[in-house]
């Protein structure tokens, strides 16, 4: 008590300033915003404490917090009693030897990672030639898709030159060695702009290399571009326009990993890296017809990436096939120790395992909502049955366990905190979109979320995690419709479970891709990728490419 009194005396000028900003009459209205009601006596008693809190806020606001400063609270998707395999087994990527260059060089745009790896490893094409090929495609098509922020030509050619020299010397690093790729432009790379897709940061340079970039660099991959994202990782509108769906350029690509999905599907790169907080990998993958893996929360360190939400942000590959996604995930999963929510878990992918040994469920409560039995979602189930997979009907835990919008409370509070000074100092005025559902307004509204309610929302989240794990842990894979699956996206992002979205055909009304989503157990991306690979080998939908970009 003595120390508190001394603090108040020393900081009396600030306290007087705080007194000027709030009166007793303000408190009843503020309480109503929190769904509270106080008597006048209670309000009179509260008043001094409220002013003291405002003093602390003012002192705190004098200290700058960059976006890369984390919370001291670290989220984990693991609930008590869970055990995981700790042994990493060897993966044989089996790079084919008999791959030839196509008669039409443009067809290289849609070669798989294994095919490109074969060409490079067997010296049928150099990394420099392949890199130049994709740089040319980016320059040709990037503007029409509005998918590219920075073309990293000098860096790409230097990395390709180094890859060729190493391979010539017999130092082959694996299937990504010499393979071009792109990054969502919220990952920092020294010497490049990292714009976060937002006008206030369009000239920002961060002197840091993101973890995922360093892992890919160490694998020998070649960074050719940084792709668009919806401004501050929302949607597909960025400061330069709107990223397009390569199947129908009159439509947006969805987001926020907008450019990563659009460019990969259009053959501007063999693969790209995206992030998801709530739908930002799955949604553009579904819209554009990509194969997008949203790994278990914490499977990949986020160091060097823009923070939107500490307990929700995830990094994942966006590819054209599940097998490509498995290769990329293999090289980027893990941690550098700088992201305290990230862990090193084994990834024991067996590309030739028997899919019939998987325990596969399908979310009957979601499928029953699809009354048109000609829809591709139902055809997906038929394909798995034809492969000899026993499909077990189950109800995905939804309305019974998700009774109010926990996600909106958690994501809004964390995002507003991550961009505190963005709101406080009116940086948000420079944003190109200012609607009711855009970040500037969302951040402002979120300032009125009480800390108590945010904490209690996360306590409800813990209960949700326990209940959802009880159901998901009965299966290796659960098949869910991507669209129209209730609260599944919010639920599984909150619980941290992995999801994999991949193309399944075309919508007969719009001739745009349809998709399905597989949900898996924590840290079991391998089962999802095996199940998707088997489907893609049986159907070939992953080998359909937008005609305008062939």
Count CB-CB contacts under 10 A for residue 405: 13
Active-site option among 184, 193, 226, 533: 184
Q: How large is the greatest C-alpha to C-alpha distance in the chain, in angstroms?
A: 85
Instruction: Tell me the C-alpha distance between 150 and 153, whole Å.
Output: 9
CB of 345 closer than 8 Å to CB of 297: no
Catalytic, out of 112, 118, 126, 256: 256
> What is the Cα gyration radius of the chain?
25
**Residue 516 · residue 502 · CB < 8 Å:** yes
Please state, as a whole number, how many other Cβ atoms lie within 10 Å of the Cβ of residue 275. Answer: 26
Q: Which of 257, 280, 321, 341 is catalytic?
A: 280
What tokens does 21 get? 């900003």
How deeply is 374 buried, as exposed, middle or buried, from its count of CB atoms within 10 A (0-12, 13-18, 19+)? exposed
Q: Report the distance separating Cα 340 and Cα 184, nearest Å.
A: 22
Catalytic site includes residue 184 = yes
Tokens 């008597």 appear where?
39
Write the CB contacts of 281 (distance below 8 Å, at least 6 apart in sequence). Answer: 257, 274, 275, 292, 293, 294, 314, 316, 318, 501
Residue written as token pair 């001739």: 511
Give the closest residue to 367 by CA, choosing from 225, 480, 519, 466.
480
Is residue 40 classed as helix, strand or coil in its secondary structure?
A: helix
Element (H, E) at 132: helix 127-145
- Residue 270 to residue 294: CA distance in whole angstroms: 18
The residues that are catalytic are: 184, 256, 280
């Amino acid at each position: 008590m003595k120390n508190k009194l001394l603090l108040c005396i020393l900081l009396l000028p600030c306290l007087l300033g705080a007194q000027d900003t709030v009166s007793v009459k303000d408190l009843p209205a503020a309480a109503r915003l929190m769904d509270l009601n106080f008597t006048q006596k209670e309000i009179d008693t509260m008043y001094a404490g409220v002013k003291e809190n405002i003093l602390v806020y003012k002192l705190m606001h004098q200290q700058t917090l960059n976006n890369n400063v984390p919370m001291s609270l670290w989220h984990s998707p693991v609930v008590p009693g869970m055990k995981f395999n700790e042994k990493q087994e060897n993966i044989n990527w089996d790079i084919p030897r008999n791959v030839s260059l196509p008669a039409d060089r443009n067809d290289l745009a849609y070669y798989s990672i294994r095919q490109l790896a074969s060409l490079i490893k067997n010296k049928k094409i150099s990394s420099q030639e392949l890199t130049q090929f994709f740089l040319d495609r980016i320059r040709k098509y990037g503007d029409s898709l509005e998918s590219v922020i920075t073309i990293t030509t000098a860096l790409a050619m230097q990395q390709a030159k180094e890859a060729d020299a190493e391979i010539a010397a017999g130092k082959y690093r694996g299937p990504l060695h010499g393979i071009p790729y792109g990054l969502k432009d919220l990952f920092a790379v020294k010497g490049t702009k990292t714009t976060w897709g937002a006008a206030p940061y369009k000239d920002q340079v961060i002197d840091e290399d993101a973890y995922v970039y360093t892992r890919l660099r160490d694998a020998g991959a070649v960074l050719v571009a940084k792709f668009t994202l919806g401004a501050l990782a929302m949607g597909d509108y960025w400061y330069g326009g709107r990223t397009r769906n390569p199947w129908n350029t009159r439509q947006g690509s969805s987001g926020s990993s907008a450019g990563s999905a659009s460019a990969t599907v259009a053959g501007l790169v063999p693969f790209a890296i995206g992030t998801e907080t709530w739908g930002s990998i799955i949604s553009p993958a579904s819209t554009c017809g990509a194969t997008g893996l949203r790994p278990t929360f914490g499977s990949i360190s986020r160091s060097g990436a823009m923070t939107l939400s500490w307990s929700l942000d995830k990094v994942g590959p966006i590819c054209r096939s599940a097998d490509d996604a498995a290769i990329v995930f293999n090289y980027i999963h893990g941690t550098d120790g700088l992201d305290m929510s990230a862990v090193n878990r084994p990834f024991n992918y067996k590309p030739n395992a028997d899919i019939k040994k998987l325990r596969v469920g399908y979310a009957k409560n979601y499928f029953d909502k699809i009354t048109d039995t000609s829809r591709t979602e139902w055809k997906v189930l038929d394909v798995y049955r034809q492969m000899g997979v026993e499909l077990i009907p189950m109800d995905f835990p939804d309305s019974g366990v998700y009774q109010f919008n926990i996600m909106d409370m958690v994501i809004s509070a964390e995002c507003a905190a991550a961009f505190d000074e963005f709101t406080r100092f009116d940086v948000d005025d420079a944003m190109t979109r200012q609607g009711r559902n855009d970040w500037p307004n969302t951040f402002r509204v979120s300032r009125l979320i009480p800390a108590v309610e945010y904490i209690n929302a996360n306590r409800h989240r813990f209960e949700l995690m326990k209940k959802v794990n009880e159901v998901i842990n009965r299966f290796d894979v659960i098949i869910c419709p991507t669209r129209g699956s209730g609260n599944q996206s919010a639920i599984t992002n909150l619980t941290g479970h992995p999801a994999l979205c991949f193309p399944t055909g075309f919508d007969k009304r719009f001739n745009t891709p349809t998709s399905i989503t597989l949900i898996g157990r924590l840290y079991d991306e391998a089962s999802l990728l095996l199940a998707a690979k088997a489907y893609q080998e049986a159907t070939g939908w992953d080998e359909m490419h937008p005609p305008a970009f062939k």
